[in-house]
Chains A and B, each alone.
Chain A
Amino acid sequence: MRALIIILCVLLSSACFSRPISYVGGHTLMANSGSLTDNIYWHYTPNINYSVGLDYQRDKVSNEYFPSARFTYLINRKNTAKSQRNLYLKTGVGLNDSNNHFYSLAGDWETRRLFTSFSLKQSSGAGYDMFEQSVKVGVAPYLGDYGDLHTWLMVETKKNDLGNKRITYPVLRLFKGGALIEMSYHKKTDWDVHLMYRF
């Protein structure tokens, strides 16, 4: 049971936030609240090719805490006049127990109107290994100017090799200035809310 909870913690904490690397010298603070876990994640970008961060999770069921260190490396980025494409390598290791760790390959492609991303993630912990894949697509119903409220309507689908069931759910992303909120809903996991602030 505990292993399952840890898995769910890891699974939920992997919620796909855009831009895991900020601008040089930039800090990003994220908070997530779901039905099973709450977590706070901070990362700092010392170089445009990578970011380092700390994640702190609380399991709502067992009331246990899982702090971890994270590292994200930008493998490749392609900028064009109308789009940006990124490929990232992400890793994380538990600070209480280094047996809890993950690594993932994630990518995104975005224009002002369209967004797509994918993630392949291998998580390991005491007594379990899990491989998860996810894809997210989105569309901006209107094109806001710099400083406006921006809205994205998205759909995300996930599947892992434990449950081997695909779940698909809608995601609403809103952001303005340095603040972002993302909400998703699935009948099994209920509401999931993510907040992000970049400074």
Chain B
Amino acid sequence: MKNLLLLSLLISSTAIYAGHHEPHDMDSMHSHEGHIHNEMVNGKNIDVDAQRFDTFMIGIDNNAVAVVSVQGMVCDFCARGIEKTFGKDKRVSKIDVDLASGKVLLAFPVADDIDSADIRKKILNNGLNTTDIQIVGK
């Protein structure tokens, strides 16, 4: 009986560890100590406000994020269409617009392909220009 209890404990603790470990790959996207600034994608640093990125990632663990650098996004009204346009795209799980940095964060399920050309086209349809797209978490 004691062995059975020990065995059960061992199995359940392994399961708990596995459950905890599974999302850890996604956790590596989180800033924790602000290291999202130092993370490299295609040889370039991702310059995103760490706290903002962490807040954005809440509730979307199994998502990759497109960090889109946008030119011309100087007012809320200019950026309003971005939320409208990407909001209609069912693949996009979450959107964040940061006027101060000129960055748009778009979350996509990890299983989905992220089409950079489509993102650029949608940004252009808002009268703005995309200068860079970095995919984090793929």
Contact = CB atoms under 8 A, between A and B. Distances in A.
A110 B31 CA distance: 33
Contact of A24 (B97, B99, B125): B125
A146 interface: yes
24 contacts: A23-B80, A23-B82, A23-B84, A23-B125, A23-B127, A24-B85, A26-B84, A48-B124, A48-B125, A48-B127, A81-B71, A81-B131, A82-B102, A83-B74, A84-B78, A110-B75, A111-B74, A112-B75, A143-B99, A144-B76, A178-B77, A178-B80, A198-B77, A198-B81
A22 interface: yes
B77 A112 contact: no
Interface centre among B74, B78, B128 (most CB of A within 10 A): B74
Nearest to B125: A24
Interface in A124-154: 143-148, 150
A25 B82 CA distance: 12
Contacts of A84: 72, 74, 78
A73 interface: no
Contact of A77 (B81, B125, B127): B127
Interface of A: 18-19, 21-26, 48, 74, 77, 79-84, 110-112, 143-148, 150, 175-178, 180, 198-199
Contact of B79 (A80, A81, A82, A146): A146
Interface in B108-129: 124-129
A116 to B, nearest CB: 13
A181 B13 CA distance: 59
Interface residues of B, number: 25
A79 B72 contact: yes
B77 A26 contact: no
A177 B97 CA distance: 12
A174 to B, nearest CB: 11
A23 B76 CA distance: 13
A148 B79 CA distance: 12
B58 interface: no
Contacts of B131: 81
